[in-house]
Structure 1
Amino acid sequence: MDVSPLVWTLTILGILGLLAFDYFFHVRRAHVPQLREAAIWSSVYVGLALLFGVGTLIFGGGAMGSEYFAGYVTEKALSVDNLFVFLIIMTSFRVPREDQQKVLLFGIMFSLVARTGFILLGSALINTFAWVFYLFGLVLLITAGNMLRPQTEEAHSAQNVVVRLSRRLFRTTDNYDGDKLFTVQNGRRVMTPMLLVMVAIAGTDLMFALDSIPAIFGLTQNVFVVFTATAFSLLGLRQLYFLLDGLLDRLIYLSFGLAAILGFIGVKLVLHALHENNVPFINDGEHVEVAEISTGLSLTVILAVLVVTVLASLLSTRGRTQTAMANARRDAIAYLDSEYTSDPVERERIYRRLIESRDHIVKLGPKAKQIVKNEPELLELCGRAALSHDAALASGRHPDDSVLGPDPTPLQGPRRQG
């Protein structure tokens, strides 16, 4: 179905309007989003995406609507996986909690621009060279294989080539100055870590697009559907980051599910390439009679794989343990970092979650304890955060407990259970 220029214009203006609304009403004033705020606005953006899909079904037909929903679900799942890498980057750069929203919104805007460019390029290649389907399918199969490898935080280091080059060529400082990109230090204009973390996010997102765009082209070649499904999957990603805060590490099997989905779409692309084949050394340039996978079947497989992997992650003992470990380490480091947040309520939230995570680790059974690495060091870090919390209470520097509720049970010093 051809989409009129008017529909294209209205759609683009609507997306830009949502981004502008997000900035002026939420991000411009630095603050820490609370769970309720994140939940409400995540629901709003998901609701808008679903309404747009219903409109696509009504005005574009069943095939176009199914392609949109399949593309949206796939891109949204890939975006959630990307949030884990964003978390690592912002943790390594010690981005203040209040300013993380601005970094995320910049990442979303850059991603939308970059992926639009990739979409236009991909569409031009597909319309010109049928063999591009083979290339896209191979890219997805390789990506699926790479996702099955064990991933560590070191594998997603924020200190990528662009950041290291920026530090070498330009004057930089290790200290933030609010959300400013540049500041004056000792009478000289220097680059703040805020600009560097944005560069790291942008560079990482370019890598994400290399598997994201071929994946959705494997589900539909309609440029309007590809663009809108990608755009709506990115809108609301900032709110989703804060909504899933503390749960991202819990989705330990998500990468396996995404690998299965990308592998499935890769096979679908190869089958389509064989059907459309004009490569001389394959079947003498003639198309190959193969069964093609329908969009309806693709959507069913994608949803089924995601449901199974998410439920398996949430019910897994390993998932709960790894989440507790990651939360305890990050929360202890954040609590001990005086520059992480100036919001007393946020500091108390971090401390209380630290208590829950630490208690979970201490109460682990022998089998689950085998998952925990460097337990003495981790509990020692928790103990230091507890001492800092107690010192803050004793000096009267802690937030008003009448607002926060009763005092949480203090952490004990590090110890091991048998």
Structure 2
Amino acid sequence: MTVPAWLWFATIGGLVAIILADLFLVDHKPHAVTVPEATRWVLFYVALAMVFGAGLWLFAGGTYAGEFFAGYITEYSLSVDNLFVFVIIMATFKVPAIHQHRVLLIGIVIALIMRGIFIAIGAAAIARFSWVFYVFAAVLIYTAVNLARQGTAHDEEYTENRVLRLLRRMVPVTEDYHGAKSFVKIDGKRWATPMIIVMLAIGSTDLLFALDSIPAIFGLTQEAYLVFTANAFALMGLRQLYFLLGGLLERLIYLSYGLAILLAFIGVKLVLHALHENSLPFINGGRPVPVPEVDIVVSLSVIVGVLIITTIASLIKARRGLPARTDADRPGARASEGRG
């Protein structure tokens, strides 16, 4: 797939325009995001992804469109698991409800920039070394095993990473929020606010999730443009999904098992592709191994099928065994008061 420079610039420019428009709407009238509003935004971003995929189908062909959709659905699904951590971060830092949308937007922009760097490095490595597929496959299978062991359990506490601890040593942090400001001056001294801390927490935490999600999408397509756009669409719609899902997150009790199956499947797919492209001298004398490869139609079918079965099974189990949640349990309501 040949992607001209102007298309890269146009894509990034369109993404920046959407982010700036979103920021303007948030700053113009900060408010707690409602379920109907979140629903409209989720549908908007999903529709954008569908239109983009249709454009790929029209101008690049069904194969590349299929790879984009498979990557988009996979990234979006893996990102849902991030929401459990985002809920914990919001509660830990007691982010006011009116500022949660802004926090998620900036945090996800930080995550997208870092993922872009990661994608560029991964694409360059794949282009030069075919054995990188084996490494990616090992990462995915290892992560799949850990997810399966995790089962329905999720951590309930958030521990600050090294980036945040370093920032706290470099700049003093206020106890209270100062509106949407990230930095303030108090008695002539510059202070960071919890707002910048939680934004960096969201962005840096997502990078850890990218360590398995990026190899996963490279298992579906080796086109850097498709990898980047699938990540962009998935991340941009993620923050609205945070408000929409609310208490449903804890009802997706089999999500980890579903994601484990997907990662293991893509890991095996990567191994087959690595063997097909083999150049390692100790495997088949450095020649490609004639193994069957999984085409994108099968991949897309498996991804969608596993997610549907996982979701239905989770909701059935939740309905039988979990108590109903109240509006107070929604992420937007959990941290409606600031520190103080």
Give the alignment's TM-score, normalised by structure 2: 0.92
Aligned partner (choices 155, 161, 170) of residue 153 of structure 1: 155
Higher alpha-carbon Rg: 1
Gaps in structure 1 of 5+ consecutive residues: 341-418
The answer (yes or no) to whether the contact 2:216–2:263 under 8 Å persists in 1 is: yes
SS in 1 for 2:190: strand
**Measured at CA, do residues 134 and 57 of structure 1 come closer, stay the same or move farther in structure 2, by a change above 3 Å?**
same
**Measured at CA, do residues 288 and 41 of structure 1 come closer, stay the same or move farther in structure 2, by a change above 3 Å?**
same
Deviates more, 1:244-253 or 1:181-190: 181-190
- Partner AA of 1:152 in structure 2: H
Separation in structure 2 between the aligned mates of residue 241 and residue 118 of structure 1, nearest angstrom = 24
Gaps in structure 2 of 5+ consecutive residues: none
Separation in structure 2 between the aligned mates of residue 206 and residue 317 of structure 1, nearest angstrom = 30
1:307, CA displacement in angstroms? 0.3
Q: Does 1:86 align with 2:90?
A: no
Name the structure 1 match of 2:10: 10
**Measured at CA, do residues 329 and 128 of structure 1 come closer, stay the same or move farther in structure 2, by a change above 3 Å?**
closer
1:98, CA displacement in angstroms? 0.8
- Partner AA of 1:234 in structure 2: L
The answer (yes or no) to whether the contact 2:246–2:331 under 8 Å persists in 1 is: no
CA RMSD of superposed structures (Å): 2.4
Q: Give the aligned length.
A: 338
Separation in structure 1 between the aligned mates of residue 228 and residue 185 of structure 2, nearest angstrom = 41
Name the structure 1 match of 2:255: 254
The answer (yes or no) to whether the contact 2:275–2:289 under 8 Å persists in 1 is: yes
- Partner AA of 1:339 in structure 2: G
Deviates more, 1:125-134 or 1:25-34: 25-34
**Measured at CA, do residues 331 and 124 of structure 1 come closer, stay the same or move farther in structure 2, by a change above 3 Å?**
closer
- Partner AA of 2:122 in structure 1: G
Separation in structure 2 between the aligned mates of residue 22 and residue 113 of structure 1, nearest angstrom = 17
Q: Percentage identity across aligned positions?
A: 51
Name the structure 2 match of 1:190: 191
Separation in structure 2 between the aligned mates of residue 201 and residue 87 of structure 1, nearest angstrom = 10
**Measured at CA, do residues 63 and 79 of structure 1 come closer, stay the same or move farther in structure 2, by a change above 3 Å?**
same
Residue-by-residue CA offset, 1:6-47 (whole Å, 9 max, x unaligned): 322222221111111111123553211111111111111111
1:159, CA displacement in angstroms? 2.0
Separation in structure 2 between the aligned mates of residue 330 and residue 297 of structure 1, nearest angstrom = 36
1:213, CA displacement in angstroms? 0.9
Name the structure 2 match of 1:353: none
The answer (yes or no) to whether the contact 2:107–2:201 under 8 Å persists in 1 is: no
Name the structure 2 match of 1:105: 105
- Partner AA of 1:52 in structure 2: F
Residue-by-residue CA offset, 1:241-273 (whole Å, 9 max, x unaligned): 111122111111111111110110010001110
Separation in structure 1 between the aligned mates of residue 58 and residue 188 of structure 2, nearest angstrom = 61
Q: Which has the higher contact order (CA 8 A, sep 6+)?
A: 2
Name the structure 2 match of 1:396: none
Give the alignment's TM-score, normalised by structure 1: 0.76
Matches within 5 A, 1:368-387: none
Name the structure 1 match of 2:294: 293
Matches within 5 A, 1:15-414: 15-150=15-150, 151-154=153-156, 157-185=158-186, 188-317=189-318, 321=322, 324=325, 334=335, 338-339=337-338
- Partner AA of 2:62 in structure 1: G
1:112, CA displacement in angstroms? 1.5
- Partner AA of 2:124 in structure 1: A
The answer (yes or no) to whether the contact 2:247–2:331 under 8 Å persists in 1 is: no
